[in-house]
Amino acid sequence: MAEASGLKKLTRFDGRLHIFARPNSPFVWCGFHHKGRYVRQSTKEIQWSAAIKSAESWYNLKQAEILTGVASFGGKSFTFAAKAAMKTMEARAARGERSNVYVRSVKDEINRNLIPFFGTSSVDNIGIVQWEKYKSYCYEKNPNISRGTLHQHKNALRLVLNESYRQGWIKQIPVIKDVYNNEKIKVPRQWFDEREYTKLHQAIRVHKKTLLNTRWKNDCDELYDYVIFVANSGLRVGEAMNVRFCDISMHEEEDQIGARKHLLIRNIKGKRGTGDCRTMDGAVAPFLRRVESRGVKNPKDSTEPLFQAYHRDMFNSVLDKTGLKWTKEQPPRKRDLTVLRHTYISFRLLNGASIYDIATNCRTSPAMISEHYAKWISPRMMKGLNRLNRGRNHADLLE
């Protein structure tokens, strides 16, 4: 038994380190408080003089581990918490609360990037310090990594921390925030102006004729309808892939020009959960072509997806051939399928639609529309408003 048979106790480092004997143990023990948990360990020493030296060394080592973010005091490891978070996301996707595409992308971020770095670290030790170290690690691997990519990593990390908080593994969610120059963050979205969209439209038509008698004919037809449909509805890529025939209904209304048809898309599933969308009249024709080409007799009862393929590669091929893959601004910025949604929003702004109406129809915030779209309308783009006053509508370009 240790000296004093478990009755003796002393402290070091202004009372932060406790050295004591325990009943039924031959060794002297030591411990300290950390984030509401009492961390203790046996010194494996019977004599108090040797136990004090061992306890002080152990305490200094643990404090160094806390400062470097590698300490683990019996809390759940990041890997354990990450697996629980991924399981929760899969359950939400099964209930229709999250997009399957989004869940797969987040799981890929966690498995490929976060677990190899944070792995065995206790989840209650992860905060802004560890995030900054992770960013440095990413920059060492890839000096050209973009802010957008790091933002995706951060969102995946937050999902794990949120799950840890809900499970009671951490007492509060740490604040992980990057400080950037705001003027650099708020940049305009890439979109197709009137000339560029007309060029793209013609290029896809030529692409259809080129592959008319090949096995890619159906894909070309669907890509053509996909581009027009999304440019007239403003759907996100994931939302467009989740739209079913039964989610779409056709309506007709009178305006100054005459009777115009439009589509109402309900139960849109994607990044922001579920929502509704009222399309421009240009989305009607591609929808009817999809119904006819797929042989859908009763679209209201069909649960088949409107689009069967993810046309990223073919769309990129058309952009490369037409020289539209990169913007003309400096530095050049790359375009992808998301540009179709940006084109819809930009054309709606040029047609005089209110920011609030666009935000509601696109399932986003008015601040997002203002900062990334409306704020950047230049005098060159304002020519569209002059055309509108003369009876020319940018919506006509999207048909």
d(CA 286, CA 299): 14
Sheet (strand 259-270) strand order: 248-254, 259-270, 273-278
d(CA 324, CA 195): 11
Tell me the fold of 194-398.
hpI Integrase; Chain A (1.10.443)
Give how far Cα 165 sits from Cα of 52, 103, 113, 160, 211, Å. Answer: 37, 20, 21, 9, 53
Which residues make beta-bridge pairs with 142?
Answer: none
Cβ 200 vs Cβ 194: under 8 Å: no
The tens place of each residue's pLDDT in the chain, 399 residues long, gives 454 444 578 999 999 999 999 888 889 999 998 877 788 889 999 899 999 999 999 999 888 877 876 666 667 888 999 999 999 999 988 887 887 888 999 999 999 999 999 887 888 888 888 899 999 999 999 988 888 899 999 999 999 999 999 998 888 888 888 876 554 555 678 888 889 999 998 999 998 888 888 888 889 999 999 999 999 999 999 899 889 999 999 998 776 666 788 999 998 887 777 889 999 999 999 999 999 999 998 999 999 999 998 888 999 999 999 999 988 877 788 899 999 999 999 999 888 888 999 999 999 999 888 888 887 765 545 554 444 444 444 444 445
Specify burial of residue 46 (Cβ count, 10 A radius: 0-12, 13-18, 19+). middle
**pLDDT score recorded for residue 18:** 93
Whose CA is closest to 115, among 140, 84, 79, 152? 79
Question: What is the distance, to the nearest Å, from the Cα of residue 172 to the centroid of all Cα atoms in its chain?
Answer: 23
**pLDDT score recorded for residue 258:** 66
**pLDDT score recorded for residue 236:** 92
Cβ 221 vs Cβ 211: under 8 Å: no
Question: What is the distance, to the nearest Å, from the Cα of residue 78 to the centroid of all Cα atoms in its chain?
Answer: 20
Query: Given CA atoms 82, 83, 89, 92 in this order, what sign does their dihedral have?
Result: negative
**pLDDT score recorded for residue 38:** 82
Residue ranges of the domains in the chain? 3-68, 78-179, 194-398
